[in-house]
């Protein structure tokens, strides 16, 4: 026919199977997310710590090769880390890599929360506000596809922030040290990173989806997320700090009491002699100094013990996540090994300063699991297939 | 008829965008329809008439007085707006009662008026429920109730029938027609032409902020020269009838619709045509079964005038 | 058979939305009418398999809506009543996304989106974001998104809501074309009866969750033999008197309409003769037929 029908044409193409339906939603969500300029800037800035990590791993690799390129940096490193470690890089390789990754992941956790703040609140609340749910559910789409698709958006962005930089930094560090034994030693680190990324994505993703489904206004959801992030973190930190101070104070007062009693019991009461007055205070002064240092060391040790059962940091969401991550990375073991290079009296203080909360990691895992469960319940309730809509 | 609402060379622009362009009109008592495509200036006209906007040029008067900055005049004006904004926690009765009190009625008068108006719009069974739970049709009826409750002289209704089902629409139309019959002035703005058509033959047609036509639909139709009238005749012997009609002077063309056994006559002088038709039909040679014009109605007038 | 329901009951707590509803509808263009709260929306949702019913069974396009819900939705397009367009995307992206959600591949979806947007008449506007669209354009985009996967059944819920007369004409034209020329079945739910009459052949009337009337529009609109509707140039009073003298019964209706019943065996010749004698102009003469509105009101009034 020379003239073709310009009207409506029928279409008989193939439809993809059900398994990939969520991908369409994820693709769409990512595209909409990338239109947000703030998000693009945040992603760019989130890659800076990755650059720093890669740089550090490369320097460490060159250090192991005893290359001349890094000689100018050696004094700087020695003042930061300690001469023992810098002089024997291979021995401490696993620990240093672990702790480098630990710091990196901690920083990137903050960036992840920021990225979720920028991309997360609108995920479901926009669909509620603009009444797009009939659009979704009048198509052959199950609720699980919808949730997976939306979760996928969070997973993609968090992957860009957490997992991809870790892997690239790892590869670069490997290349710069030209030593394949690193692979054997530190491969578990890479797995731990990926696992960490998965934990954060699933837990934080489900949480933000649940919050997003609670309100039609994405601004309120954003505020809620800020509350989860900052307020919970503040509450945890404040409670833990207050508790620590109180404990320290108690212990100090008790120890001083005990010392004074012991001193009074040990020394018989002396008559006041004018000839000895001059030497008296001097005699007592050194004894008091020794007391304080011992008391201090005792206190540190007790703090370390008590920290093992301190549940107060559980209030902070970010602390929970990072605790699980640290456990998987094995950061605590690394710190303990590094602590051996520090003089004994300062060891406890050193560890207390550098290690995070010490309670068992599975407490955090339980808290996260409970949050995941709650999120799933909320999502299920809020997004019923139009039975109660309007 | 004394004009109730009077616009004298009124223009209104928002920045650069023109809303109304040199509009002069006098709306009498009775029901008048306000029509026009999107962006024609209907909402602007209603807002100017109720004193919500100040004209950039010209004067707006309602009941003889300028309406801007004259809240006392609101006692005699009722407005049923298009937007759907209520205090959701109030019940329907609360809302209409409060509006009555705001309209200047004292407590007992307001109570009676609220009950009476809610009964008139058919909301009595639902008036003690919160507005949050109302359907679209119920909200529309409550809106109409609050416009009527203080018994105004002039009513402005903006899309009053959206969301109402045909049963409710019938009842509301009866109310509006009755008000028009009582001498009140009702201006109904609507997109749904056949609803306006049923309510009233008097219309005001706007396009791009200007007044295009005003008056009785049929008179307007007669004035549209460019488009001849199309009159349909149904007859078994339609071709012979067509031949006969072509001998008449005022008939300009005849189209055949074989499927319906009908012919469509085009003429610029419908009056003359209709005048000669009964004789022809009564003579008995042609059995004219039906005569009608699908051209003589509001849809046709709108289409001819608006889509150039 | 387009769809059939048997004994379907659905309650929301104390409110019964559908009450033992049984209806069977052939393919084609079907209008769905009913007062507010009659269960129209619930019925549509039941057909799409979106809500579980308490009792009863039924099938859409031959597929049971209890078990084959996803298959049903693959063959059905739904254009809901309210605004459902989320901002931030261009028109064509929106339509392509709608297709991808059904399972079309990305390339197919994009090609098809352009095709349907041509059909509904969204030209260059398709590259603009949806929040800049006028109401008419939004409705057309909704319609396009509903047909992008070439469904066998298209469900339109109040498609001409808020549109100006020109826009309404276009949407009705599209609906009519799809239903009559392109072989797509249509369920048209609306309160505006002339719209339904313009597009549909068959109609289903619901009330309080039950079926009140169902059938072809042509059949439901009864024919009253010997009754005619007449409109004159001037007022009908004098003419009515003359007709009464000639043995007809007359009744006055709104809009200057006169209902005339001629004596048995007579025809409209009586009316023409009376007009010729009195020099009246008859501007409208048609045999009386109930309008759809009358059919509807009669069906609803029956308790």
Alpha helices by DSSP H, listed for A82-163, are 83-87, 93-119, 122-129, 133-137, 143-158
C161 in reach of chain B (CB within 8 A): yes
Give the pLDDT confidence of C121-170 residue by residue, as tens digits.
888 889 999 988 888 889 899 999 999 999 999 999 888 888 888 888 88
Q: Which of A17, A125, A139, A153 to mutate to test the interface with C (most CBs of C within 10 A)?
A: A139
Give a yes or no: residue A329 inside a domain: no
- Residue B291 has its nearest CB partner, among C134, C135, C285, at C285
Give a yes or no: residue A6 inside a domain: no
The verdict on a CB contact (< 8 Å) between C36 and B168 is: yes
Q: What percent of chain C has pLDDT over 70?
A: 99
Min distance B12 CA to chain C CA atoms (Å): 22
d(CA A319, CA A233): 7
C136 in reach of chain B (CB within 8 A): yes
Chain B residues in contact with C297 by the CB 8 A cut-off are: 166-167, 170
Look at residue A50 in the predicted model and tell me its pLDDT: 86
Number of domains forming the structure of chain A: 1
Chain A residues in contact with C73 by the CB 8 A cut-off are: 138-141
pTM attached to this predicted model: 0.82
Question: Which chains are adjacent to chain C, needing at least 3 Cβ pairs under 8 Å?
Answer: A, B
Concatenate the DSSP letters of all residues of C92-152 into one string.
HHHHHHHHHHHTB-HHHHHHHHHHHHHHHT--GGGGSBGGG--HHHHHHHHHHHHHTT--S
Look at residue C302 in the predicted model and tell me its pLDDT: 62
User: CA dist A32 to A118, C127, C261, Å?
Assistant: 12, 16, 67
The domain defined by B5-221 folds into Rossmann fold (3.40.50)
Q: What is the pLDDT along chain A (390 residues), one digit of tens a residue?
A: 567 666 777 887 777 777 788 899 999 999 988 988 999 999 999 888 888 888 888 888 777 777 777 777 777 777 777 777 777 777 777 788 888 888 888 888 888 899 999 998 988 888 888 888 888 888 888 888 899 999 999 999 999 888 888 888 888 877 877 777 777 777 888 888 888 888 889 999 999 999 998 888 889 999 989 988 888 888 888 888 888 888 888 888 888 888 788 878 777 665 555 544 444 444 444 444 456 777 777 777 777 777 777 777 777 888 888 888 888 887 777 787 777 777 776 777 777 777 777 777 888 888 888 889 998 988 888 877 554 444
Nearest chain C residue to A10 by CA distance is: C150
The verdict on a CB contact (< 8 Å) between A142 and C70 is: yes
The verdict on a CB contact (< 8 Å) between C115 and A132 is: no
C286 in reach of chain B (CB within 8 A): yes
The domain defined by B226-306 folds into Alpha-Beta Plaits (3.30.70)
Give a yes or no: residue A313 inside a domain: no
Alpha helices by DSSP H, listed for chain A, are 21-34, 37-46, 48-64, 74-81, 83-87, 93-119, 122-129, 133-137, 143-158, 164-177, 181-212, 218-226, 232-266, 274-277, 279-307, 317-329, 331-339, 344-354, 361-382
A35 in reach of chain C (CB within 8 A): yes
The verdict on a CB contact (< 8 Å) between C284 and B282 is: no
The verdict on a CB contact (< 8 Å) between C115 and A9 is: yes
The Cα angle at residue C80 between residues C78 and C81, in degrees rounded to 5: 150
Is residue B257 within 8 A of residue B227, CB to CB? The reply is no
The verdict on a CB contact (< 8 Å) between C272 and B281 is: yes
A28 in reach of chain C (CB within 8 A): yes
Look at residue A291 in the predicted model and tell me its pLDDT: 67
Ranges of chain C with pLDDT below 70? 255, 302-303
Q: What is the ipTM of this complex?
A: 0.81
Phi, psi at B46, each rounded to 5°? -65, -40
Look at residue B94 in the predicted model and tell me its pLDDT: 92
Min distance C198 CA to chain B CA atoms (Å): 13
Give the pLDDT confidence of B6-54 residue by residue, as tens digits.
999 999 998 888 899 999 999 888 999 999 888 888 989 999 999 889 9
C82 in reach of chain A (CB within 8 A): yes
Task: Please state the domain extents for chain B.
Answer: 5-221, 226-306
Look at residue A184 in the predicted model and tell me its pLDDT: 77
The verdict on a CB contact (< 8 Å) between A32 and C88 is: yes
Give the pLDDT confidence of B70-127 residue by residue, as tens digits.
888 888 999 999 888 889 889 999 999 999 999 888 999 999 999 999 998 888 888 8
Look at residue B204 in the predicted model and tell me its pLDDT: 92
Domains and CATH numbers, chain C: 3-219 (3.40.50.300), 222-301 (3.30.70)
Nearest chain B residue to C36 by CA distance is: B165
The H-or-E segment that residue C242 falls in is helix C237-245
Give a yes or no: residue A279 inside a domain: no
Look at residue A390 in the predicted model and tell me its pLDDT: 43
- Residue A139 has its nearest CB partner, among C89, C102, C150, at C102
Nearest chain A residue to C112 by CA distance is: A11
C170 in reach of chain A (CB within 8 A): no
- Residue A8 has its nearest CB partner, among C78, C84, C182, at C182
Min distance B98 CA to chain C CA atoms (Å): 27
CA B238 to chain centre: 37
The verdict on a CB contact (< 8 Å) between B194 and C254 is: no
Give the pLDDT confidence of A208-232 residue by residue, as tens digits.
999 998 888 889 999 989 988 888 8
Chain A residues in contact with C112 by the CB 8 A cut-off are: 11, 13
The verdict on a CB contact (< 8 Å) between B302 and C35 is: no
Chain A residues in contact with C103 by the CB 8 A cut-off are: 15-18, 21, 140
A9 in reach of chain C (CB within 8 A): yes
Residues 273-302 of C with CB under 8 A from A: none
> Would you say how long chain C is, in residues?
303
Look at residue C97 in the predicted model and tell me its pLDDT: 93
C283 in reach of chain B (CB within 8 A): yes
- Residue A24 has its nearest CB partner, among C80, C100, C150, at C100
Give a yes or no: residue A339 inside a domain: no
The verdict on a CB contact (< 8 Å) between C45 and A386 is: yes
The verdict on a CB contact (< 8 Å) between B167 and C300 is: yes
Chain C residues in contact with B293 by the CB 8 A cut-off are: 283-284
Q: Which of C100, C112, C133 to mutate to test the interface with A (most CBs of A within 10 A)?
A: C100
Domain span holding position A131: 19-235+365-382
> Would you say how long chain A is, in residues?
390
The verdict on a CB contact (< 8 Å) between C73 and A10 is: no
- Residue A131 has its nearest CB partner, among C84, C89, C98, at C84
Alpha carbon distance, N-terminus to C-terminus of chain B: 33
Residues 142-161 of C with CB under 8 A from A: 145, 147, 149-150
Task: Find the helix packing angle between A317-329 and A232-266, rounded to 10°.
Answer: 70
Conformation bin of residue C120: beta by default, left when phi > 0, alpha when psi is -120 to 50: alpha
- Identical fold, B5-221 and B226-306: no
The number of beta carbons lying within 10 Å of the beta carbon of residue B283 is 11
Look at residue A272 in the predicted model and tell me its pLDDT: 53
Chain C residues in contact with A32 by the CB 8 A cut-off are: 88-89
């Amino acid at each position: 026919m020379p003239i073709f029908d310009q009207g409506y044409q029928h279409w008989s193409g193939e439809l993809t199977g059900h398994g990939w339906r969520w991908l369409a939603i994820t693709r769409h969500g990512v595209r909409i997310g990338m239109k947000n300029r703030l998000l693009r800037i945040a992603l760019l800035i989130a890659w800076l710590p990755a650059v720093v990590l890669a740089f550090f791993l490369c320097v460490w690799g060159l250090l192991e090769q005893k290359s001349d390129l890094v000689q100018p940096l050696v004094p700087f490193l020695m003042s930061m880390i300690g001469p023992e470690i810098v002089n024997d890089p291979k021995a401490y390789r696993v620990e240093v890599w672990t702790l480098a990754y630990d710091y990196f992941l901690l920083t990137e956790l903050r960036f992840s929360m920021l990225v979720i703040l920028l991309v997360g609140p609108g995920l479901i609340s926009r669909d509620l506000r603009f009444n797009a749910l009939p659009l979704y559910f009048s198509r052959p789409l199950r609720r699980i596809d919808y949730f997976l698709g939306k979760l996928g958006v969070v997973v993609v962005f968090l992957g860009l922030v957490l997992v991809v930089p870790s892997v690239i930094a790892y590869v670069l560090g490997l290349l710069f040290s030209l030593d394949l034994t690193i692979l054997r030693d530190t491969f578990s680190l890479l797995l731990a990173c990926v696992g960490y990324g998965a934990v954060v994505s699933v837990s934080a993703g489900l949480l933000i989806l649940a919050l997003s489904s609670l309100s039609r206004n994405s601004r309120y959801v954003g505020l809620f997320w800020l509350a989860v992030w900052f307020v919970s973190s503040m509450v945890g930190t404040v409670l833990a700090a207050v508790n620590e101070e109180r404990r320290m104070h108690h212990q100090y007062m008790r120890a001083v009491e005990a010392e004074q009693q012991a001193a009074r019991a040990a020394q018989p009461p002396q008559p006041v002699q004018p000839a000895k007055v001059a030497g008296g205070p001097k005699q007592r002064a050194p004894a008091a100094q020794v007391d304080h240092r011992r008391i201090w060391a005792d206190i540190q040790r007790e703090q370390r013990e008590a920290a093992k059962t301190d549940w107060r940091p559980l209030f902070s969401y970010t602390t929970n996540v990072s605790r699980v991550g640290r456990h998987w990375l094995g950061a605590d073991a690394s710190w303990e090994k590094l602590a051996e290079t520090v003089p004994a009296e300062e060891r406890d203080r050193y560890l207390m300063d550098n290690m995070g909360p010490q309670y068992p990691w599975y407490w955090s895992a339980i808290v996260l699991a409970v949050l995941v469960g709650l999120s799933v319940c909320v999502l299920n309730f809020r997004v019923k297939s139009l039975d109660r809509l309007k | 008829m004394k004009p109730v609402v009077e616009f004298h060379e009124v223009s209104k622009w928002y920045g650069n965008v023109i809303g109304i362009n040199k509009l002069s009109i006098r709306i009498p008592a009775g029901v008048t329809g306000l029509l026009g495509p999107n962006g024609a200036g209907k909402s602007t006209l209603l807002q100017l008439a109720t004193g919500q906007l100040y004209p950039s040029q010209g004067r707006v008067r309602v009941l003889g007085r300028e309406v801007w900055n004259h809240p006392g005049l609101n006692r005699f004006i009722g407005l049923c707006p298009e937007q759907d904004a209520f205090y959701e926690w109030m019940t329907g009765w609360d809302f209409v009662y409060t509006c009555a009190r705001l309209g200047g009625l004292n407590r007992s008068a307001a109570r009676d008026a609220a009950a009476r108006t809610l009964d008139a719009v058919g909301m009595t069974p639902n008036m003690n429920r919160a507005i949050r739970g109302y359907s679209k049709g119920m909200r529309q009826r409550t809106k109409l109730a609050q416009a009527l409750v203080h018994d105004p002289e002039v009513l402005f209704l903006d899309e009053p029938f959206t969301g109402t089902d045909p049963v409710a629409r019938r009842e509301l139309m009866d109310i509006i027609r009755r008000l028009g019959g009582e001498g009140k002035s009702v201006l109904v703005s609507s997109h749904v032409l056949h609803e306006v058509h049923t309510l009233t033959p008097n219309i005001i047609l706007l396009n791009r902020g200007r007044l295009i036509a005003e008056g009785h639909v049929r008179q307007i139709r007669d004035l549209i020269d460019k488009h001849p009238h199309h009159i349909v005749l149904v007859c078994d012997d339609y071709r012979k009838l067509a031949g006969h009609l072509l001998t008449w002077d005022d008939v300009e063309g005849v189209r055949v619709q074989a499927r319906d056994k009908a012919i469509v006559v085009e003429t610029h002088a419908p009056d003359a045509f209709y005048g000669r038709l009964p004789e022809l039909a009564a003579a008995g040679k042609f059995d004219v079964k039906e005569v009608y014009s699908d051209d003589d109605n509001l849809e046709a007038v709108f289409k001819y005038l608006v889509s150039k | 058979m387009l769809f059939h329901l048997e004994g379907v009951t659905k309650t929301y707590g104390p409110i019964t939305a559908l009450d033992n509803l049984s209806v069977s509808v052939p393919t084609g263009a079907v209008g769905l009418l009913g007062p507010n709260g009659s269960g129209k929306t619930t019925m549509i949702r039941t057909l799409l398999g979106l809500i579980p019913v308490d009792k009863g069974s039924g099938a859409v396009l031959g597929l049971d809506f209890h078990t084959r819900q996803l298959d049903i939705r693959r063959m059905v397009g739904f254009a809901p009543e309210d605004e459902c367009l989320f901002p931030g995307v261009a028109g064509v992206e929106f339509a392509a996304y709608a297709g991808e959600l059904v399972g079309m591949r990305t390339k197919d979806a994009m090609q098809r989106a352009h095709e349907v947007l041509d059909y509904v008449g969204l030209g260059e506007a398709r590259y603009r974001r949806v929040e800049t669209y006028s109401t008419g354009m939004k409705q057309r985009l909704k319609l396009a998104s509903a047909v992008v996967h070439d469904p066998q059944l298209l469900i339109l819920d109040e498609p001409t809501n808020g549109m100006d007369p020109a826009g309404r004409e276009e949407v009705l034209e599209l609906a009519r074309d799809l239903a009559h020329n392109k072989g797509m079945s249509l369920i048209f739910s609306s309160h505006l009866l002339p719209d339904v009459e313009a597009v549909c052949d068959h109609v289903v009337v619901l009330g309080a969750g039950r079926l009140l009337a169902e059938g072809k529009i042509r059949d439901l609109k009864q024919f009253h033999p010997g009754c005619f509707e007449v409109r004159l140039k001037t007022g009908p009073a004098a003419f009515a008197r003359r007709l009464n003298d000639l043995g007809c019964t007359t009744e006055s209706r709104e809009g200057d309409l006169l209902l005339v019943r001629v004596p048995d065996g007579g025809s409209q010749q009586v009316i023409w003769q009376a007009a010729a004698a009195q020099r009246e102009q008859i501007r409208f003469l048609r045999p009386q037929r109930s309008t759809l509105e009358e059919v509807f009101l009669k069906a609803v009034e029956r308790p």
